């Protein structure tokens, strides 16, 4: 069948996209508390019910899946930027190859750059693909195609949906934690300045500061727990995306890009369980081995 008659590769929710709901669920209680704090302040000015406010705040995150919002807001939240002329040319040249192979429109996605000295890329929202400046400057056209195909695979597997929701939920939690630390510093300063001779005032001031510190650290702990769960789920999603890349016909290109990670000395499996917990990606050597095994089953890595 001629390639022009093939239908576009469709998005499909896989098991890893469903499993990615777990870290969001772990984050939700802390988000509700943070939203309640902001609602309490707002309702002093504007009468609004808490659940209506929470529903509006949650649903506003859907805007992060809109392409114009991703260009203006999401890429900034993720520390990314618009590609310069040279980066744009390299990115879009490779992206058009990947898009054509999968029979999708290249303009359906937003390509951004993260300033970084390492080989890195990630997908977010419904259409955003972020690639490190190092990868664009140093990878060959073929290897860059492999990296972009991997990120497209995350979008096609709907792995980015829960991830983006989680990113949205962390915003009020982090903001409230920062406010808590700021007020804690004020409480410490006020106690040291005005209550040096009053034992009761000192006790009250330090108690307030301690409570604020504890609450702030609890919020940050909830984010950490959510990230640890997300890392465990994310490793499986990485393997699944690699499998999809091979079926697209870019398995060898992605494998060769991963070999750069191995050659840099960063492709080994973490030996300590704590290190494995805080790592979101499987070891590059393991990914290469699995890609090679799949390529042997797919003659010449032809797309299916």
Contacts of 186 (CB under 8 A, 6+ apart): none
Domain of residue 228: give its range.
30-301
Residue 19 domain flag: no
DSSP, res 81 = B
Q: What is the pLDDT of residue 187?
A: 63
Helices (H), the chain: 15-19, 21-42, 50-60, 67-69, 75-77, 85-101, 133-138, 141-156, 160-194, 199-248, 251-263, 273-277, 284-297
Q: What is the pLDDT of residue 191?
A: 62
Burial of 196 (0-12, 13-18, 19+ CB in 10 A): exposed
Q: What is the pLDDT of residue 303?
A: 58
pLDDT tens for the chain, 304 residues long, are 344 446 778 888 888 889 889 888 989 998 998 899 899 989 989 999 999 999 999 999 999 888 888 888 888 888 899 999 999 999 999 999 999 999 999 999 999 999 988 888 999 888 999 999 999 999 999 999 999 999 999 999 998 898 899 889 989 888 888 877 776 666 666 666 655 555 565 655 566 666 666 777 777 788 888 788 887 878 889 999 999 999 999 999 999 999 998 888 754 454 443 444 335 678 889 999 999 999 998 765 455 5
Residue 4 domain flag: no
The pTM of the whole model exceeds 0.75: yes
Q: How many domains, the chain? A: 1
Q: What is the pLDDT of residue 215?
A: 72
Residue 113 domain flag: yes
Among residues 173, 195, 194, the alpha carbon closest in space to that of 37 is found at 173
- Number of other residues whose CB lies within 10 A of the CB of residue 217: 14
- Which sign, positive or negative, has the C-alpha torsion 285, 289, 292, 298? negative
The edge-to-edge listing of strands for the beta sheet with 110-114 is: 110-114, 128-132, 121-124
Among residues 18, 35, 22, the alpha carbon closest in space to that of 225 is found at 22
Residue 281 domain flag: yes
Q: What is the pLDDT of residue 177?
A: 80
Residue 84 domain flag: yes
Residue 11 domain flag: no
How far apart are the C-alpha atoms of 282 and 228, rounded to whole Å? 14
Beta-strand relationship, 128-132 and 121-124: antiparallel
CB 239 within 8 A of CB 207: no
Distances (CA, A) of 189 to 128, 159, 161, 177, 204: 44, 46, 43, 18, 13
The token pair that represents 16 in the structure block: 């890893």
Residue 3 domain flag: no
Q: Give the CA angle between residues 126, 242, 278 to the nearest 5°.
A: 80
Burial of 234 (0-12, 13-18, 19+ CB in 10 A): buried
How far apart are the C-alpha atoms of 267 and 282, rounded to whole Å? 9
Residue 5 domain flag: no
């Amino acid at each position: 069948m001629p390639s022009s008659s093939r239908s576009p590769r469709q998005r499909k929710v896989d098991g890893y996209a469903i499993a990615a709901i777990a870290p969001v669920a772990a984050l939700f209680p802390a988000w509700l508390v943070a939203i309640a704090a902001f609602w309490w302040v707002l309702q002093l000015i504007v009468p609004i019910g808490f659940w209506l406010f929470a529903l509006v705040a949650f649903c506003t995150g859907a805007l992060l899946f809109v392409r114009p919002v991703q260009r203006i807001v999401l890429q900034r939240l993720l520390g990314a930027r618009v590609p310069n002329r040279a980066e744009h040319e390299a990115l879009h040249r490779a992206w058009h190859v990947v898009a054509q192979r999968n029979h999708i429109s290249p303009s359906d996605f937003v390509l951004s750059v993260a300033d970084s000295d390492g080989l890195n890329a990630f997908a977010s929202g419904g259409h955003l693909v972020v690639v490190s400046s190092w990868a664009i400057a140093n990878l060959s056209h073929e290897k860059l195609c492999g990296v972009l195909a991997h990120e497209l695979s995350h979008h096609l597997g709907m792995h980015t949906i829960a991830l983006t929701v989680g990113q949205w939920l962390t915003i009020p939690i982090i903001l409230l934690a920062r406010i808590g630390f700021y007020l804690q510093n004020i409480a410490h300063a006020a106690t040291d300045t005005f209550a040096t001779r009053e034992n009761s005032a000192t006790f009250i001031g330090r108690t307030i500061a301690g409570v604020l510190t504890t609450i702030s650290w609890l919020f940050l702990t909830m984010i950490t727990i959510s990230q640890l769960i997300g890392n465990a789920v994310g490793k499986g999603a990485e393997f699944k995306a690699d499998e999809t890349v091979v079926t697209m016909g870019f398995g060898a290109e992605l494998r060769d890009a991963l070999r750069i990670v191995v050659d840099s000395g960063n492709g080994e499996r973490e030996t300590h369980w704590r290190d494995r917990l805080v790592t979101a990606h499987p070891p590059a050597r393991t990914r290469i081995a699995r890609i090679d095994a799949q390529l042997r089953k797919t003659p010449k890595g032809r797309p299916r």
